[in-house]
Chain A
Amino acid sequence: MRAMISDKPGAPESLELRDVPSKPVGKGEVRVAVHAAGVNFPDTLIIADKYQFKPPRPFSPGHEVGGVVTEVGEGVIDYAVGDRVIGMIGHGGYAEEAVIPTANLLPMPANMSFEEGAAFTMTYGTSYYALKQRGNLMPGETLLVLGAAGGVGLTAVELGALMGAKVIAAVGSDEKMEICRKYGATMFVNYSKEKLRDKVKDLTDGKGADVIYDAVGGDAFDEAIRCINWLGRLLVIGFASGRIPSLPANLALLKSCDVRGVFYGAWRTREPEAARQNFTEMFEWVRHNKLKPHISMTFPLEKAADAMNALLSRKATGKVVIKVR
């Protein structure tokens, strides 16, 4: 099978397209013909040895795939050859085939394309866990999403609106604002033109946002903590800006607010049943066409480096997907 291989730590260009032997299917595993692979920010870290998990080389990056089961291993009863599935894997998605334990599979809703399936678990999984379990977002509350047109940001906008929140999208351009409007945001901050804290206070009658979803970090975090409501929750998702911010503890005290870390991967490992339940709820929304992954760019397998660079340069809105078949 063909796969994009990382043989030494490096940038996206260090990946090579190679023919590699298929892996045998073990007990409790299935072989999946990969139709599409989602591209995620951690993929760029894992090939540069900057991720918390470092697989032995050579390996293929790729956290999530959409495909069809072509072979089932011993003891597998809940999946059969021909099933359309989503695979959640730590790496190995940028390839024509993946061998996946059934615990890491989800059945793909019938009205979902392979590209949508490959673009779903990381971003929607993270955002729903963040807003539901970590943020306790309540209907009627104000949700501020930083980097709102990005891969995870847009899913937070969409899920927040579905959960009944009033969503403020913070973005860097008017064009990105329009995408967020389509996904449910009703208020906007263009932080290339406006000061975040002032605009958010204006939009919330001086109170500030109840829940802040921050996958950006850096200066945006520093601003956001100054426009949070009393008993607000700032959700720390990641640091796409490249700078890890620090919170002066007196700011938390004065607003009686919370700053809550969100580590989706670790939670999913610790609480697989709750994580599965989250997908069950979200797939119900998918079946009713209430959730629609936004895929802005697709690339063929051999152009995986271009796909990753589209994400890194922040040119992409929503998700970037590699179309393998």
Chain B
Amino acid sequence: MRAIVCDAWGPPESLTLKELPPPPLGAGEVRIRIRAAGVNFPDVLMIYGKYQRKPPFPFVPGLEMAGEVVEVASGVTHLKTGDRVFGMCGVGGFATEIVMRADMVWKMPDAMSWIEGAAFPVVYLTSYYALNNRARLKPGETLLVLGAAGGVGLTACEIGAAMGADVIAVASTADKRALAAQHGARRQIDYGPARLRDSVNELTLGKGADVIYDPVGGDAFDECLRCIAWGGRLLVVGFASGRIPSAPANLLLLKGAELRGIRTAGWREQFPHEADVAMQGVLALYTAGKLKPYVSTILPLEKAPEALGILDGRQATGKVVLNVDA
């Protein structure tokens, strides 16, 4: 099989395309012919050695993929050869083949393309887990989404709107704000010119945001602690800004507010049944036509370094996907 290989911590350019022997199939596992692989910000952190998970070298990056089952270990009954599946594999997605535990993949809806499927699991499950399971977002609540045009941000706008929230998107360019608007954000804030707290307090008539979805961290986080509503929930999704912020505990106390950490992969491992229920919940929204996975860039497998570079430069809107089929 062909795969993108990481032999040492470093920038995307240091990755190489190699021919590797196919991995063996163990009990309870399935072999999948990968058709497309989603590219995510943690992939970038992982190859630099900056992610919480540091796989031993050599490893194949790639958090998620979509493809068809080509071999099934004995004892696996719910999947068969030819099934279209997607899943969060953690590593190994940037390859033509992968072996995964059968209970860790989900069947894809018939209407979903390979490209959409590869763009789906990580960002949609993260945002659904964050907004539904962790924040208990209620209809009519105000949801503030930072980095709203990015991969996870855009899905938070869509899911928030589908759950009946009043979505306010924060993004740094007019194009990004327009994109967020197309994906469910009723109002938008330009990140930069005015203090974020002032813009949010103005739009919420001084009340602040009930739920804040933050994959950005840094200065934006500091501002958010000052425009959160009484009883508000600030969801810590990631630190795309590069700076890990800190929350003074008295600010949380005075607002009766809370900080909630979101770590989707770990949750999936510890509570697989809950994660399966959540995936069915978010797929139901997709099937109802409420979610439109937005893929801005499609590149072939060998262009993985270029794809990761787009995310590294924080220029991406929506998702970047590798077309492994090509």
Contact residues of A with B, CB < 8 Å?
52, 134, 217, 221, 230, 236-239, 244-263, 266-267, 270
Contact A258 B260 (CB under 8 A): yes
Contact B249 A253 (CB under 8 A): no
CB distance from B198 to the nearest CB of A (A): 22
Q: Return chain A residues, CB-CB under 8 Å to B244.
A: 248-250
Q: Return chain B residues, CB-CB under 8 Å to A252.
A: 236, 259-261
Q: Return chain A residues, CB-CB under 8 Å to B230.
A: 266, 270
Q: Return chain B residues, CB-CB under 8 Å to A259.
A: 247, 249, 252, 258-259
Main secondary structure of the interface of A (DSSP, over half): mixed
Contact A247 B259 (CB under 8 A): yes
CA distance A52 to B250 in the complex (A): 12
CB distance from A213 to the nearest CB of B (A): 13
Contact A263 B256 (CB under 8 A): yes
Contact residues of B with A, CB < 8 Å?
52, 217, 221, 230, 236-239, 244-263, 266-267, 270
Cβ-closest chain B residue relative to A238: B253
CA distance A133 to B256 in the complex (A): 11
Cβ-closest chain B residue relative to A230: B270
Residue among B254, B257, B259, B261 with most chain A CB within 10 A: B261
18 A-B interface contacts by CB (under 8 A): A230-B266, A236-B249, A236-B252, A239-B250, A244-B250, A247-B259, A248-B245, A248-B246, A249-B236, A249-B246, A251-B261, A253-B236, A256-B263, A258-B261, A259-B258, A260-B257, A266-B230, A270-B230
CB distance from A229 to the nearest CB of B (A): 11
Contact A254 B252 (CB under 8 A): no
Contact B252 A253 (CB under 8 A): no
CA distance A237 to B252 in the complex (A): 10
CA distance A247 to B221 in the complex (A): 12
- The 7 tightest CB contacts between A and B, nearest first, are A261-B252, A252-B261, A260-B258, A261-B253, A246-B246, A253-B261, A256-B263
Given contacts A230-B266, A249-B217, A253-B236, contact A261 B261 (CB under 8 A): no
- Report which of A255, A262, A263, A266 forms a contact with B261, defined as CB distance below 8 A: A255
Q: Return chain A residues, CB-CB under 8 Å to B266.
A: 230, 256
Residue among A246, A249, A251, A259 with most chain B CB within 10 A: A249
4 additional A-B residue pairs with CB within 8 Å, beyond A258-B258, A261-B249: A256-B260, A263-B253, A263-B255, A266-B254
Q: Return chain B residues, CB-CB under 8 Å to A247.
A: 246-247, 249, 259
Contact A221 B262 (CB under 8 A): no
CA distance A245 to B239 in the complex (A): 21
CA distance A258 to B236 in the complex (A): 10
- Report which of A249, A254, A267 forms a contact with B221, defined as CB distance below 8 A: A249
CB distance from A322 to the nearest CB of B (A): 27
Residue among A221, A236, A245 with most chain B CB within 10 A: A236
Q: Return chain B residues, CB-CB under 8 Å to A239.
A: 249-250
Q: Return chain A residues, CB-CB under 8 Å to B249.
A: 217, 221, 236, 239, 244-247, 259, 261
CA distance A255 to B270 in the complex (A): 12
Q: Return chain B residues, CB-CB under 8 Å to A258.
A: 258-261
Q: Return chain A residues, CB-CB under 8 Å to B238.
A: 253
CA distance A256 to B52 in the complex (A): 13
Contact A261 B263 (CB under 8 A): no
CA distance A164 to B238 in the complex (A): 35
- Report which of A254, A263, A266 forms a contact with B52, defined as CB distance below 8 A: A254
